Chain A
Amino acid sequence: MTVKYTEDHEWVRVEGGVATVGITDHAQEQLGDVVFVELPDTGQTVARGDASGVVESVKAASEIYAPVSGEIVEVNQALVDTPGTVNSDPTGAGWFYKIKFSDPSELDGLMDEAAYKAHAGG
């Protein structure tokens, strides 16, 4: 299992051919209290960089961009009713969706933890 990161402050946990996607602790901290989450549909096909969800705090709305191309195989429906989970457990129970990726080489374009920490400002 590896965890990678995008420039848009998403984490991507890769297990087998499936990547679980969420937003980082840094991202939830910056957003503040999350009050609304919109998820993609299971079965939907997305291309890398596609808007594939929305996370909104009291202050602002942010889109979630697909870190890799593939098919959405599962979404975290619980977030719709309890969006605050994104704040309390961003890298665990606050995951957004799972994507069965179609091009493993796209993973190479993501950051590792050290590179992400530098990107997020330490």
Chain B
Amino acid sequence: MTDSPNLKTTPLTALHESLGGKMVPFAGYMMPVQFPLGVLSEHRHTRAKAGLFDVSHMGQLRIDGHDAGSRLETLVPGDIVGLGTGRMRYTQFTNADGGILDDLMVTNAGDHLFVVVNAACKEADTALLKGSLGKAVVELPDRALLALQGPAAEGVLKTLAPAAAEMAFMTYAAMDVAGIPCFVTRSGYTGEDGYEISVPADRAATLAEQLLAHPDVEPIGLGARDSLRLEAGLCLYGHDIDTTTSPIEAALTWSIGKRRREEGGFPGAVRIQSEIANGPARRRVGIKPEGRAPAREGTEITDADGRAIGQVTSGGFGPSVDGPVAMGYVETGFAKDGTAVQLVVRGKPMPARVTRLPFVAPGYKRG
């Protein structure tokens, strides 16, 4: 392994190494990209049974105060005030131009909001939140975050926390898991049923080991996390969304509640409301190459005549699809499901079709 003096570890780093994880730098952390099982098998295992992911590099924060929701709404287009106790929602931090600074999960935990942001953005997000909401924002650096994902996740977790089985998709509960006080949400980023478990850092390895002791659970690295979320049609910040893309272009309009669309009051509202009303110039879509060659991030998308109409923002091989899958932005006129396009791979145009996302049917447990 190369020396990496500036890279941070997570409470599970030693466990990853003992499990044979191949450690790579990611967002300032040393993280396992894969375990001995390998990306393909890790991906398929998660869709068939359950995978355990270390997502402790992500930022966890609390926002206190009875007005936390309305104050957070000045930074995000999601409906936070209308978020019921014990429920969570996906939204974005937007900038004045309507671009996306980061995407995040917001949970109404009763007397506070619990927020999870991306690792690469967490310092900027924290500064943004503190600058706007002040002392109400509390970082939670002493908590690790585990994701248990897959159709067997419920059966596994209920052996350590029976109440977890009763939870519906996108809900939250504070509960003991294996006797450890945790914040549990029924959520994730794989397209499967599953949970994210916020656990005190000093108990995280113990909890991970207990979850891994179940025969249905395998440790899963970032490689499979990426292919799982791509098949699920979920955006990766810095790739599919960034400050140059609006939530409407990114096909995230569903995450903006009716009241917020009408009232605005979030950064970039003018552009975002205009794009909702008039349609964006380009749109994020799924793209299915017709051959076997994967089209990677940055691949040019052209129309049948070879005119550039967009770019792939995430692309690779979908192990569950058993073929190449991609997503990217195309001019709105080409965004319709089934539209024939070309992907320029190594200088050669390859036939592909715009396709509805996700590539695999979600396994979410609806309430």
Interface residues of A (CB under 8 A from B): 32-33, 35-36, 38, 51, 54, 56-59, 61, 80
- In the complex, the answer to whether B316 meets A58 with C-beta atoms within 8 Å is yes
Please name the residue on chain B nearest to A81 by beta carbon: B292
Known: A32-B34, A32-B223. A54 touches B39 (CB 8 A): no
Known A58-B39, A59-B33: A35·B317 in contact at CB below 8 Å: yes
User: Are B223 and A61 neighbours in the complex by a CB distance under 8 Å?
Assistant: no
B294 engages A32 (CB within 8 Å): no
Residues of A within 8 A of B292 (CB): 36, 80
The closest CB in chain A to the CB of B43 belongs to A58
A56 touches B223 (CB 8 A): no
A56 B317 Cβ-Cβ under 8 A: yes
Bound: A61/B227 CA distance, A: 15
Q: Complex Cα distance A54/B292, Å?
A: 12
Find B38's partner among A33, A36, A51, A61 (CB 8 Å cutoff): A33
**Which residues of the partner chain A approach B43 to less than 8 Å between Cβ atoms?**
58
Number of cross-chain contacts by CB at 8 Å = 40
B38 touches A32 (CB 8 A): yes
Question: In the bound complex, how far is the Cα of B223 from the Cα of A38, in angstroms?
Answer: 22
A80 to chain B, nearest CB (A): 7
A-B contact pairs, 26 of them (CB 8 A): A32-B38, A32-B39, A32-B223, A33-B39, A33-B40, A33-B41, A35-B40, A36-B292, A36-B293, A36-B294, A36-B317, A36-B324, A51-B346, A54-B346, A56-B294, A58-B39, A58-B40, A58-B43, A58-B223, A58-B227, A58-B317, A58-B319, A59-B39, A59-B316, A61-B294, A80-B292
Complex: how many Å from CA A17 to CA B133? 74
A36: B residues at CB distance < 8 A: 292-294, 317, 324
Q: Is there an interface contact between A35 and B294, defined as CB atoms closer than 8 Å? A: yes
Interface residues on B, range: 10 to 19
Bound Cα distance from A74 to B39, whole angstroms: 31
- Complex CA gap A82/B214 in Å reads 32
- Residue in contact with B296 in the complex, picked from A35, A61, A80, CB distance below 8 Å: A61
Instruction: List 9 A-B pairs, minimum CB-CB distance, nearest first.
Output: A35-B317, A33-B40, A58-B39, A33-B38, A58-B317, A33-B39, A36-B292, A32-B39, A56-B294
Residue on A nearest B323 in the bound complex, by CB: A35
Interface hub of B33, B293, B296 (most chain A Cβ within 10 A): B293
**Contacts of B41 on A, CB cut-off 8 Å?**
33
For chain B residues 237-273, which have a beta carbon within 8 Å of chain A? none
Q: Which residues of B contact A38 (CB under 8 A)?
A: 293
Name A56's closest neighbour in chain B (CB-CB): B294
A53 to B: closest C-beta gap in Å: 11
Complex Cα gap A52–B252 (Å): 41
